[in-house]
Amino acid sequence: MAITTATRASERRFTLGRRARRLIADGLTYAILVLGLLVVLVPLYWMVATSLKTSTALFLIPPQIVPQPIRWHNYVEVWRLVPLAQYFANSIFVTALAMGGEILTCALVGYGFARYQFPGRDLLFAIMLGTMMLPGVITMIPSFIIWARWLGRYDTFSPMTVGALFAWGPAYIFLLRQFFLTIPRDIEEAAIIDGANVVQLFFRVMLPLVKPALLAIAVLSFSGNWNNFLSPLIYLSTPDKFTLPLGLYQFNSALAGGGEAPKWNYMMAMTVLMALPVVLLYFRAQRYFIEGLTVGAVKA
Amino acid sequence: MVQWYARTLIDYLIAAGGILLVMVLVYYGLTRLGLRREAATGYALIMPWLLGLVIWTAYPIGASLYYSFTDFNGLQPPHWVGLSNYQRLLAPNSYFWPSLRMTLLYGALSLPIGLALSLAVAMLLARDVRGIGFWRTMFYIPAVIPTVATIILWIWLLSTDGLVNQVLSPFYRLVGMQRPSWFTDPRYALPGLIIMSLWGVFGANTVILLAGLKNIPHHLYEAVEIDGGGAWAKFRYVTLPMVSPTLFYTLVLGVIAAVKTFEPGVFIRLPRATGTFLQVLVYQYAFGTRALMGLASALSWIMLIIIALLTLLVFRTSALWVYYEGERRR
**Could you give the CA distance from residue B187 to residue B178 in angstroms, rounded to a whole number?**
13
Of A62-66, A280-284, B9-13, B279-283, the poorest mean pLDDT is in A62-66
What is each CA distance from B110 to A119, B199, B229, in whole angstroms? 43, 10, 33
Q: Say what the pLDDT of residue B328 is.
A: 54
Q: What are the pLDDT digits (tens) for A162-178?
A: 999 999 889 899 999 98
Q: Say what the pLDDT of residue B107 is.
A: 92
Give the distance, in angstroms, between the CA of residue B297 and the centroid of all CA atoms in the same chain.
Answer: 19
Q: Say what the pLDDT of residue B274 is.
A: 84
Smallest CA-to-CA distance from B198 within A36, A32, A199 is with: A36
Give A53's contacts in chain B (Cβ within 8 Å): none
Q: Helix or strand or coil: residue A291?
A: helix
Task: Please indicate whether residue B230 or residue B56 has the higher confidence score (pLDDT).
Answer: B56
pTM of the model: 0.90
**Could you give the CA distance from residue B247 to residue B206 in angstroms, rounded to a whole number?**
10
Q: What percent of chain B has pLDDT over 90?
A: 48
Across the interface, do B204 and A293 touch by the CB < 8 Å criterion?
A: yes
Asked if residue A259 has pLDDT above 70, the reply is no
Yes or no: say if B198 and B113 are a contact pair by the CB < 8 Å rule.
yes
Give every CB contact of residue A68 below 8 A, 6+ residues apart in sequence.
A57
Q: What are the pLDDT digits (tens) for B241-278?
A: 888 888 888 888 888 888 888 999 998 888 888 889 99
The residue of chain A nearest to residue B142, with distances taken between CA atoms, is A40
Asked if residue A52 has pLDDT above 50, the reply is yes
Q: Say what the pLDDT of residue A275 is.
A: 94
Q: Helix or strand or coil: residue B71?
A: strand
Is B215 in the A-facing interface, judged by CB distances under 8 Å? yes
Yes or no: say if A108 and B45 are a contact pair by the CB < 8 Å rule.
yes
* Mean local confidence (pLDDT), B25-35: 94
Give every CB contact of residue A234 below 8 A, 6+ residues apart in sequence.
A140, A144, B283, B287
Taking only residues 272 to 291 of chain B, the set having a beta carbon closer than 8 angstroms to any beta carbon of chain A reads 279, 282-283, 286-287
Is B198 in the A-facing interface, judged by CB distances under 8 Å? no
* Mean local confidence (pLDDT), A138-145: 95
Is A255 in the B-facing interface, judged by CB distances under 8 Å? no
Residue B330 — very low, low, confident or very high, per pLDDT cuts 50/70/90? very low
**Could you give the CA distance from residue B302 to residue B313 in angstroms, rounded to a whole number?**
16
Range picked from A159-168, A190-199, A257-266 for highest mean pLDDT: A159-168
Q: Say what the pLDDT of residue A64 is.
A: 82
Give B263's contacts in chain A (Cβ within 8 Å): 229-230
* Mean local confidence (pLDDT), B83-112: 94
Is A121 in the B-facing interface, judged by CB distances under 8 Å? yes
B66, burial (CB in 10 Å: exposed 0-12, middle 13-18, buried 19+) = middle
Task: Please indicate whether residue B140 or residue B90 has the higher confidence score (pLDDT).
Answer: B90
Of A74-83, A88-97, A286-295, the poorest mean pLDDT is in A286-295
**Could you give the CA distance from residue A122 to residue B94 in angstroms, rounded to a whole number?**
44
B161, burial (CB in 10 Å: exposed 0-12, middle 13-18, buried 19+) = middle
**Could you give the CA distance from residue B253 to residue B255 in angstroms, rounded to a whole number?**
6
Angle of helix B147-157 versus helix B186-214 axis, rounded to 10: 130
Residue A268, CA atoms < 13 Å, CB-side half-sphere: 26
